[in-house]
Chain A
Amino acid sequence: MNPTTAAVRSGLARGRIELRQTFTTPQDLWGYLFPTVVLLVVMLLMRGSTIPGTDFSRGTMTLPSVLGVSVAFGGLVNLMQYLTVEREDGTLLRAKATPGGMLGYLIGKVVMVSGMVLVSIAITLIPGMFLFEGLALNTVGAWLTLAWVLAIGLVATMPIGAVLGSLFSNPRNMGLIMLPVMGLVAASGIFYPVTVLPEWLQVIVQVFPIYWLGLGMRSALLPDNMALVEIGESWRHLETVGVLSLWAVLGLIIAPIVLRRMARRESGSSVAERREKAMQRIA
């Protein structure tokens, strides 16, 4: 067998095994269910209020937006977290010591994170379909839109996660990244239409993938007339694909460079050094 093919296959197997592990670890399951339950409750509470200028429920509008955030978060934050944590605990060094191990490791992580995102989308969407009225998921087109937004969203966010994960060597510094990300989520029209925000803020959020993922998901799940509350009164599919692809291309160019640099620096003593620092924090 060709060594690269073998590494790819080992990577796919690795992703499968790790997915099975995470879904059989109570702590991890709690990590999936807890935010979902909280979001569903928040959205249920918002069911009564309507979007300004329409009689459409805010709860129903928020559901697809939240799915968009789940993709962005799942792709970016999960990959970033895995890279920093597994660099500290020596998993990456182990991969480096194995022939084709780094390739296998990355493929495994992509499979795992994609699977995690799919599951977290499903556990929000399925109960949501019963809890919220006015979702327009009754056409093949709607599901197709959901599928392509999901796919391009993962390709756009995972490389960014990999880059950030390579740059931060200490898992405890990730709060530095999380804060602005949370700010972006708040301003990206997830819980209310982005058009009520000042225009300069609208410009800023349209640079980042979170807004476009929310928009894409809304375009898939909401009736077409809801596009009226969006910027330009349109779902802007072309722009969505454009911006997300740009992030994807950018990420796929930068990520391998940064990952390679990070991998090159891994050695037994660098892992030992981080371990000692971590031990000091515990003590």
Chain B
Amino acid sequence: MSVSELGPPMPRTEKGHDAASTAIAAIDVHDLRMRYGTTDVLTGVTFQARHGEVVALLGPNGAGKTTTIEILEGFRMRSGGEVSVLGTDPAKGTEAWRARLGVVLQSWRDHSKWRVQELLEHLGTYYAPYSTDRISRPRDAAELVDVVGLGEHAGKRVGQLSGGQRRRLDVAIGIVGRPEVLFLDEPTAGFDPHARREFHDLVHRLADFDDTTILLTTHDLDEAEKLADRILILAGGSIIADGTADQLAKSTSAEAEVRWSRDGERFVHSTTDATTYVRDLFAQYGNSIADLEVRRASLEDTYMSMVRTFEAGRHDDAVRSFEEKNR
């Protein structure tokens, strides 16, 4: 597998936080609201994704990740707010707009009688009229089968693929039209570590060489950290954090954990300045220090503490409003 299989590299736009790049955002969501009956699922989601950016949407179950992504895909009507994907409101998206999107669906057993390459070729034909000078559509099915690592299964019936192979086919279907924006809803659920690694490589290539804007939802924090240029945390119906994995870690806690052992005894210490602390430690005890470990807050720690703080905050709000009512 080589990067050239994905076609000629596109000129890469500079990823900057300046106003010019946000003006041409591939995805622009402002104050998105969604209400089912009397339940508010989204209470004002605002974020942007620039062209070629990989954005991960994280959040606890029921936070509204899937609802958000389905609204952006044009599969679900919103209750309020402004949404634009490639400059178009998804609720009014035409077929020409749809041709520029890729959607990786959670499959089950559709097209089970079709053969792998045959299905990709067929679905590709729908994109042919939307080919432009800049982007040739669709991708070649035979090449695509190789790109997602299904080369030896090209002639197999889809129903005979294993779960992981099936998922890779879903990704292939999602990118057969050479999308400018790709939506991935929990793409690696059920992948083994090897398949996961290969999938990550594929996402990197899509973002780097095809300049594809990618919005993915995941439960896997490690995955979000590896794949995403930027991470959004969705909780309680709105975005509670937005930034790179590093920025998020710094925003919650600057503390690192230092562990060591001395004369067979184990020690743990939390500090904001691990470097100075370790230097002092060695100055004081020298060679008797062993098993040294310095652990910065991981994305998981950050995520857990953010969601916990947020939920505690909501609890406080609830208590406050309760007290106000009973005054």
Chain A residues in the interface with B (C-beta under 8 A): 1-3, 5-7, 9-10, 13-14, 17-18, 21-22, 25, 86, 89-91, 93-94, 96-101, 104, 266-269, 271-272, 275
Contact = CB atoms under 8 A, between A and B. Distances in A.
Interface string B223-249: 000000000000000000000000000
Given A3-B130, A6-B128, A266-B75, A97 B113 contact: no
Contact of A101 (B70, B105, B114, B126): B126
Contacts of A266: 75
22 contacts: A6-B129, A9-B125, A10-B126, A13-B125, A89-B108, A89-B109, A90-B107, A90-B109, A90-B110, A93-B110, A94-B110, A94-B173, A97-B98, A98-B177, A99-B99, A99-B127, A101-B123, A267-B75, A268-B70, A268-B73, A268-B106, A271-B108
Given A99-B99, A268-B75, A1 B105 contact: no
Contact of B122 (A3, A10, A97, A269): A10
A90 B105 CA distance: 9
Interface of B: 66-67, 69-70, 73, 75-76, 95-96, 98-99, 101, 103, 105-114, 118, 122-123, 125-130, 173, 177, 185
A89 B108 CA distance: 6
Question: Dominant SS at the B interface?
Answer: mixed
Contacts of A22: 113
Nearest to A275: B108
A98 B98 contact: yes
Contacts of A89: 108-110, 112
Instruction: Determine which residue in B67, B108, B118 has the highest number of CB atoms from chain A within 10 A of its CB, and name it.
Output: B108
A269 B70 contact: yes
A1 B185 CA distance: 32
Contacts of A104: 126
Instruction: Determine which residue in B70, B99, B101, B113 has the highest number of CB atoms from chain A within 10 A of its CB, and name it.
Output: B113
Contact of B128 (A1, A97, A267): A1
B113 A269 contact: no
Nearest to A267: B75
Contacts of B129: 1-3, 5-6
Nearest to A108: B122
Given A266-B75, A267-B70, A268-B75, A99 B108 contact: no
B169 to A, nearest CB: 11
A94 B70 contact: no
B126 A6 contact: yes
A97 B126 contact: no
A104 B113 CA distance: 18
A268 B185 contact: yes
